[in-house]
Chain A
């Protein structure tokens, strides 16, 4: 059951930004990282969104979503040792 929710929520992180606004990826990825154990899926979502959008020609612009998701996952890994919070999925 949790696995289904996890898959659905990671799909939502892809679909919602594409349909309603690219910037929604950032808050949704953050929410996903708060509720999911080891939220590695958002790295793949970041790669996908980098392929789809055009934000400029520089390295940061080309891989903005990937860089953000890697930073977020690393932050979550670091914080999980320091703070305990209950994750549901």
Chain B
């Protein structure tokens, strides 16, 4: 009987398969550090990212199909008036831009950076928060570290990685991302740190002049808006105050961004 129990005991499985898989995975990880390999996978997955982005765009429009007619008429009127205002603002802006360009030429200043428009292929929640994927298929000269703008003067982040026809943009609100800028109203310098979820934070002495609505700019060859102060929280016991900020644009509504080519 004892013999039977001993012989029928289930043999302990040796996880050789697991170790083989681990070795192969390790090789893949090493290969994954090579740019061409990453580019191949990036190109393979690119259509999936695009179709996911398309799905989320269409999914967001579903509630509009069930809107009330009166609400739609009201919204239409509002949009018409806003459209006229924007048209005039664009005309003003274009004339100022032309004047600025002429003055730069006369003063022999560095020309305004050259930007390329690229499409966004994936954004949160499809990809991790505080990052977006952009399509670099039409312009392969884009380099890591290139500035990414949502409009002419709004900077949202920098290119963190580029592989294949896709690049990953690390937004200014990415955890641990530090930007050195200044408060537009007072010209006081500040160190802004990304805290995730589209938010940024700055910790300053309690007597520092910063209020809700202040715009934070970064300098360089041109000046860009990077954040808007939303909440100022004073902590008198520590003698500091925290200003919580958000990105100036809603990332979920961005379809096209502009990437700076010459820095």
Given A51-B38, A52-B42, A70-B22, do A20 and B126 touch, yes or no (CB 8 Å)?
yes
A73 to chain B: closest CB distance in Å?
Answer: 7
Chain B CB within 8 A of A35 CB:
no
In chain A, positions 52-89 with a C-beta closer than 8 Å to chain B are 52-56, 63, 66, 70, 73-74, 77
Across the interface, B128 reaches (CB within 8 A) one of A54, A70, A77, namely A54
Chain B CB within 8 A of A8 CB:
no
Contact B160 A44 (CB under 8 A): no
For residue A38, which residues in chain B have a CB less than 8 angstroms away from its CB?
A: 17-18
For residue B259, which residues in chain A have a CB less than 8 angstroms away from its CB?
A: none
CA distance A27 to B160 in the complex (A): 28
Contact A52 B45 (CB under 8 A): yes
Contact B32 A50 (CB under 8 A): yes
Chain B CB within 8 A of A31 CB:
no
Chain B CB within 8 A of A26 CB:
no
User: Could you tell me the dominant secondary structure of chain A's interface residues?
Assistant: helix
CA distance A46 to B126 in the complex (A): 17
For residue B161, which residues in chain A have a CB less than 8 angstroms away from its CB?
A: 54
Chain A CB within 8 A of B190 CB:
no
Chain A CB within 8 A of B175 CB:
yes
B24, B48, B168, B174 — which one has the most chain A CB atoms within 10 A of its CB?
A: B48
Chain B CB within 8 A of A47 CB:
yes
**Chain B 107-119, CB within 8 Å of chain A: the 1/0 string?**
0000000000000
Chain B CB within 8 A of A7 CB:
no
Which residue numbers of A lie inside 8 Å of B, CB to CB? 15, 18-23, 38, 40, 43-44, 46-48, 50-56, 63, 66, 70, 73-74, 77
**9 shortest A-B CB distances, which residue pairs?**
A19-B52, A40-B21, A54-B168, A47-B28, A18-B48, A51-B32, A43-B25, A21-B125, A51-B41
18 A-B residue pairs with CB within 8 Å: A18-B45, A20-B126, A22-B128, A23-B125, A40-B17, A40-B18, A43-B22, A43-B25, A50-B32, A51-B32, A52-B42, A53-B127, A53-B128, A54-B161, A54-B170, A56-B175, A74-B18, A77-B18
